[in-house]
Structure 1
């Protein structure tokens, strides 16, 4: 057996015995411009071990991942065909080099080991969760985990959604004015997955004394959520039955949330947040029928006629105009707004999140915003936006 074959036997053996740490290819004499080295290491991708190749060029690195058998063939091709003349295998027991001489033969060199085996082979950096599932009564009661706190396989998407939601809110929550007690309202709380998670995060992670009310129209969900809150010993979390437009907060709010409130229910929620001086308003609008009806009714000629004659483009434009006007109206009342896209879970399309943080506003800027709102309405043939009607913007 020649040295080349012996070397690759050692490569396969080190992988099978889990001793393979890394490999490098050097002394390149091929035709590919600017290629200098190739570095190979084992990684775990979707619970399967693979070989990750980093092709190092003069100005960039390119990464490719291969199945083990395919990766070994790729290494052989890089040596025999592509022009690399040195391969060094790093294992726990030795460094083994295979080098092509000027005479065209391969020689082996053994040296003492210099590389340390990594603790983890995960390809993707594991993100720190804002919440953990252990010991969470509400997660078990809502059917997401077993008694030991292990997330069920069919609940993984919902668990990722919950953590993604808290991740988004975490930075904003830290910017809230420092107060002894936070008053929070979640409009349209549904089954309460995100409501419970937010309360848990505020109280147990941020150590904030928090009163949180979840407003939900469906009686069965309200009863269920109150039972879960009692079992979880969440003493200051209460769910109330009612429509968003009917709910009246007893005092000013620190934070108002409304996720997937349909059509003008989002406007009802924003209006309550503004009237009750909420320092933070977070809404994920759902459906945009009111503005679309206005645009279709008036069909005002404008530069977007070529788009708006198509129903799907009209729908998308109505969504953008609706949420753009919402952001402007919030700015009129002194909120610093951001509109961005987020993914709620694997089974839900991307959503737009409209966020407003209460600041201050001067009268001159208010008039500029008002003029902008009027201009947009005229351009699209909109007689009114429900939110400006609720707040009597003028």
Structure 2
């Protein structure tokens, strides 16, 4: 039996003996664009034990669940074509590494166990919430919990959504500059659900010195949120009246957030973040009218124009183009971008999150991006993108 077959057998045995913890595949050399890694774990779905595969791409994750037999077959396929050159099996007793060597064959070695066994494999178990309910004053004031800290039944979806936002942001928040007061702006903060939660999380969970500002054009909501912040003793959280376009921060920005800013207001927010050299920009776009009007006016002739005669396809294409160009423009200014779905489309069709982390760039990369932007605009008959105008 060769090393690869031995590895698959050891994997199968670890599942049978309940020793299995997780599996990872790396050093991808296959042909599928942007695929980086595959992570495998055991999950219990409707009382059936299954292997859950997470395919990690450059800008998204894709999860598929297989029966044990199907999963083992899938792993054999992934390794047999040498698409992945290293596989690590984490068990309670040891880490087993199967690696494709320079001699053109697989080898196996054992290392000291480093992973802890999960307490539950339930796929449907309650997720740990980043924010604890407790007796937090602001949660009561925002009508999310009662006086005892229990989440109201009609607020469960909002509570889950807030925690999901914090979960998504967490990995990026912990990488923000240390040893300085973080400056965070939430553009279009509304009633302040996320603004309060973000301040609470940064201040009381991550223990960061932080000042958070919510920008909202409705004066009644600004007054209400400032009163709640004062009663909650959130002394570095404030709300100001104004639009995204008109707001000018008094300090350098670390984080700029704009959720569901309509049409070009999202561009206003991104431009504000870029001009103020924000370390992290997070936007959830809503409406994409500007680019749709450009496409309707341009009426480009190409091999895809047959799709755009249908209104619903035109709308979807305009959404992808708007956000795709936004990501390219952010990359031009040195941001590493990710675009992904952040809530189920069962809750809202506007569920795309565009994230930019400041990394830096160079002239060659900028020239390449600029050419791609111009090429894309010409192909779809787009005269201009509003974000381009804002940034000159």
Q: TM-score, normalised by structure 1?
A: 0.69
Corresponding residue for residue 179 of structure 2? 179
Corresponding residue for residue 301 of structure 2? 301
CA-CA distance at 1:312 after TM superposition: 0.3
Shift in alpha-carbon separation, 1:279–1:389, aligned structure 2, 3 A: same
CA offsets per residue over residues 197-229 of structure 1, 9 Å max, x none? Answer: 000000000000111100001111111100110
Structure 1 residue ranges (4+ consecutive) displaced by more than 6 angstroms after TM superposition: 55-58, 119-123
Corresponding residue for residue 131 of structure 2? 131
Q: Distance in 1 between matches of 2:194 and 2:210?
A: 15
SS of residue matched to 1:185: strand
CA contact (8 A) 2:182 2:208 kept: yes
Q: Distance in 1 between matches of 2:382 and 2:201?
A: 41
CA contact (8 A) 1:343 1:349 kept: no
Corresponding residue for residue 367 of structure 1? 367
Shift in alpha-carbon separation, 1:166–1:364, aligned structure 2, 3 A: same
SS of residue matched to 2:160: helix
Shift in alpha-carbon separation, 1:387–1:179, aligned structure 2, 3 A: farther
Q: Distance in 1 between matches of 2:274 and 2:344?
A: 25
Pairwise CA RMSD of aligned residues? 2.5
Q: Which one of the candidate residues 56, 69, 94 is aligned to 1:59?
A: 69
Corresponding residue for residue 251 of structure 1? 251
Shift in alpha-carbon separation, 1:135–1:363, aligned structure 2, 3 A: same
SS of residue matched to 2:252: coil
Q: Distance in 2 between matches of 1:329 and 1:182?
A: 25
Matched, 1:228 2:254: no
CA contact (8 A) 1:342 1:350 kept: no
CA contact (8 A) 2:285 2:350 kept: no
Shift in alpha-carbon separation, 1:141–1:58, aligned structure 2, 3 A: closer
Shift in alpha-carbon separation, 1:120–1:266, aligned structure 2, 3 A: closer
Q: Distance in 2 between matches of 1:381 and 1:228?
A: 48
Q: Distance in 2 between matches of 1:138 and 1:58?
A: 46
SS of residue matched to 1:337: strand
CA contact (8 A) 1:338 1:356 kept: yes
CA-CA distance at 1:134 after TM superposition: 0.4
CA offsets per residue over residues 252-295 of structure 1, 9 Å max, x none? Answer: 10000000000000000000100101000000000000000000
Q: Distance in 2 between matches of 1:230 and 1:210?
A: 16
CA contact (8 A) 1:336 1:359 kept: yes
CA-CA distance at 1:300 after TM superposition: 1.1
Shift in alpha-carbon separation, 1:344–1:223, aligned structure 2, 3 A: farther
CA-CA distance at 1:167 after TM superposition: 0.3
Aligned residues between the structures: 289
Q: Say which one has the larger Rg.
A: 1
Corresponding residue for residue 144 of structure 1? 144
CA contact (8 A) 1:161 1:345 kept: no
Q: Distance in 2 between matches of 1:148 and 1:55?
A: 39
CA offsets per residue over residues 80-125 of structure 1, 9 Å max, x none? Answer: xxxxxxxxxxxxxxxxxxxxxxxxxxxxxxxxxxxxxxx9896633
CA-CA distance at 1:343 after TM superposition: 0.6
CA contact (8 A) 2:345 2:351 kept: no
Identify unmatched segments of 5+ residues in structure 2.
Answer: 1-15, 17-44, 52-66, 73-118
Corresponding residue for residue 167 of structure 2? 167
CA-CA distance at 1:136 after TM superposition: 1.1
CA contact (8 A) 2:213 2:237 kept: yes
Shift in alpha-carbon separation, 1:376–1:229, aligned structure 2, 3 A: same
Q: TM-score, normalised by structure 2?
A: 0.70
CA-CA distance at 1:179 after TM superposition: 3.3
Shift in alpha-carbon separation, 1:384–1:152, aligned structure 2, 3 A: same
Q: Distance in 1 between matches of 2:300 and 2:46?
A: 59
